[in-house]
Amino acid sequence: MTYLEKLLAAVRGSQSVLCAGLDPVPELLPPEIRSQGLPESEMAVTFCRRLIEQTKTGVAAYKINIAYFEALGVDAFYVLNDVLDAIPSGKILIADAKRGDVPHTNARYKTAYFDRLGFDAITLSPFMGMDTLLPFLQDSDRAVYALTLTSNPGAADLMTRPFGDFSTLSEYLATLMRNTSHQHPGTLGMVIGATQSTVYGPVMQAYPEAPLLVPGVGAQGGSVPELARHLQRHEGIPLINVSRGLAAFDKNSPNTWEVQVAGNTDSYNKILQEISDHCLHTAGKPGTRNKKS
């Protein structure tokens, strides 16, 4: 099964394009976990496992932010393995690692995240050139989501500036990635921040069949209606990531944190319903380019 086939199956299985971000930040964990007096590594596992349990029927993918696991020190990969074991089959597993090094170094990252840990996809930085992405693009069942137009304010330093004949550097990157994607069996997608609605239109148009990983909805305030409007014209399957919004804890609620997570998941699925319905209606149909030729 190719990555795009797995992605479509995951979206159909959950009836949603929602991706749950797993960010076990110790100081932001709910009180009912922090109050147990557990070591950080055990708190991280407990938090992730409980969040997975409450979101597993309502999300298509999980994006695991590697930084929060590496910060645990020597326990990092034991914890990461425990979390990966808790994720049901049929979900897309994304390593949010943002690696970006020379090809022979990235080849070892590929071995770590794809061959050893079994992730389906990884986030990478393309700013050292397209050749750095190639080690990750040799397998048809794996994908790269390259940082193309990120949601942070610092994107204005580089990504949204004009570049040559292109309206932004991000639009140029999208063009490069589209050309690269046609030459390799792996899937090359883009990270597009939902907060960048004033500039992401031309970027999506430059690579219309790209699968998208979209952060910035939820705590960062990206506009869902604006995103839905642009995605009506985009052929690639999007995954809309929400991290803090799903894990949020309201101390004034009478419900436990886990019940709140389930409610948050339902709420975001309703917010994203138009995008999910459009994707399910159009993805994989004749005339679209979601399948790699």
Each domain of the chain, given as residue ranges in start order, spans 3-282
Q: Which residues are marked as active site?
A: 98
Would you state the pLDDT for residue 286? 45
pTM given for the model: 0.94
Q: What is the pLDDT of residues 197-252, one digit of tens each?
A: 999 999 999 999 999 999 988 667 788 999 999 999 999 999 999 999 999 999 88
Q: What is the pLDDT of residues 145-200, one digit of tens each?
A: 999 999 999 999 999 999 999 999 999 999 999 999 999 999 999 999 999 999 99
Would you state the pLDDT for residue 217? 87
Q: What is the pLDDT of residues 27-38, one digit of tens each?
A: 889 998 999 989
Would you state the pLDDT for residue 285? 60
Would you state the pLDDT for residue 81? 96
The CATH homologous superfamily for domain 3-282 is: Aldolase class I (3.20.20.70)
Would you state the pLDDT for residue 287? 44
Would you state the pLDDT for residue 284? 60
Q: What is the pLDDT of residues 97-138, one digit of tens each?
A: 999 999 999 999 999 999 999 999 999 999 999 999 999 999
- Residue 288, pLDDT above cutoff 70: no
How would DSSP label each residue in the chain? --HHHHHHHHHHHHT--EEEEE---GGGS-HHHHTT---HHHHHHHHHHHHHHHHTTT-SEEEEEHHHHHTTGGGHHHHHHHHHHHSPTTSEEEEEEEE---HHHHHHHHIIIIIIS--SEEEE--TT-GGGTGGGGS-TT-EEEEEEE-SSGGGGGTTTS-BTTBSSHHHHHHHHHHHHHTTSSSEEEEEE-TT-TTTHHHHHHHSTT--EEE--SSTT---HHHHHHHHTT--SPEEEEESHHHH---TTSSS-HHHHHHHHHHHHHHHTHHHHHHHHHHTT-TT---S--
- Residue 289, pLDDT above cutoff 70: no
pLDDT band at 293 (very low <50, low <70, confident <90, very high): very low
Would you state the pLDDT for residue 277? 96
